[in-house]
Amino acid sequence: MRDIAGTYLDRKCPSCGGALTEDVYDSAAQDALVNLHAAEEALRDCEGRVKDFEEKISRYRHFWQFAFRLIARKRLRQAEHEIATKRLHVSEAAKVTSALAYGRYYCGEWFLRTHISLCSEDDRHTEPYRIQPRYSLDGDGVRFYLKQIKRSSDSRGILGEFEAFEFFRKQVVDPASPLFGAQLLPNLYVPNTGHDSNHSNSPWTQIDLAIATKSCVFVVEVKRRYADIYAAEPYEELLIGGRDADGNESLNRSVDELSQNSRHAVEFSKACPTYDFDRVYELLLLVGTRSFTSEGSSFVDNVYIGGLAGGGAQLLDAMLEACSSEHETLSDDELKTLGDNLVNRYGDLRQKLRAMHVRWIESQQCRH
């Protein structure tokens, strides 16, 4: 198989030179889903007519003459043949949609910058999981998403990180977005210089996503948690809704997520001295929440807690304020070179670092 050609966000088919971007797949999938739904509707209509006809035959079978029974059976056989044909059409349309979903995943920017597999059942070093890429139609058009088939903590984390990546991918290709032209750097393993005392045995610190712009970089920690979460300036803790031992509603305070991302920001700054430390921003991004409320509207001491509710408008406003053009130090070409270098140096394209990192964390937890 020939390697995918092209560059970041502009992937090309090595055979025909055609675009392999996510938007191309989404457009084709929308047409395929329309055909699939039309085939399913035609099948349901045909099955309904056959059912009504069978009920009519059963209701009047004692009154029909032999000749009419033969005609009825012939019509029934013709209808059953029509149903089989329409089921074949549904199956073929479903295969096309599924093929587009898998193609979109494996040719998309997320996979090409992470090489995270949809299945880990053969990996002895990580918790087994299985994920399936899917398309669906909703009010806003076509939607691409990942569904857990075999659940695990690993797959939940991957789904959260993918959702965040997809949100920001749409921003970096939108000229009206404050992140237009930014470099998305998912799943980086930067050297652990010993700052992370909890996992001091691991030689790496795993960063879910870094977003590099010409003026600053955002170190993003993604947490997928189905709960009622409240955050407020100065972003020193999370308030997570829950229930106490008596079943009464309560708020639990948590600082672990913020401390973790703070360590990630320090290690990233050491691994990438291109940005001054005051231009390294820490973003804790919450996805999949039951509800998320934040009273803050901007970074405080380079820290922000945000969510994707409402299209992420509040989050993007905060990032726009941080991405001031007055602080731009990189050209477009320099930013692209920086992104490629960081992915190639600290990315886990061979999928070895992740397995080793998990083993180190597990061994550390066993000791405690």
When mean pLDDT is compared across 58-67, 77-86, 201-210, the lowest value belongs to: 58-67
The DSSP output letter for 347 is B
Query: Token pair 């600290």 is at which residue?
Result: 346
Helix (H) / strand (E) containing 12: strand 10-12
DSSP 173-238: T-TTSTTTTPEEEEEEEEE--S--GGGTT-SEEEEEEEEE-SS-EEEEEEEE--SEEEE-TT---E
pLDDT of 37 above 70: yes
The DSSP output letter for 6 is E
Query: Token pair 């990630």 is at which residue?
Result: 264
**Is residue 196 a contact partner of residue 190, using CB atoms and an 8 Å limit?**
no
At residue 66, the pLDDT reads 56
Query: Region 5-22: what's the mean pLDDT?
Result: 85
**Is residue 252 a contact partner of residue 242, using CB atoms and an 8 Å limit?**
yes
Strand residues in 244-325 grouped as ranges (E): 249-254, 280-287, 291-294, 303-307
User: Half-sphere exposure of 53 toward its Cβ, with a 13 Å CA cutoff?
Assistant: 17
Give 117's contacts (C-beta < 8 A, 6+ positions apart).
351
Give the model confidence (pLDDT) of 112-144 as tens digits.
999 998 987 655 556 788 999 999 988 778 999
Give the model confidence (pLDDT) of 77-103 as tens digits.
888 888 899 999 999 999 999 999 999
How sure is the predictor about 325, in pLDDT bands with cuts at 50, 70 and 90? low
**Is residue 129 a contact partner of residue 119, using CB atoms and an 8 Å limit?**
yes
Whether omega before 234 lies within 30 degrees of 0, making that bond cis, reads yes
pTM across the whole model: 0.85
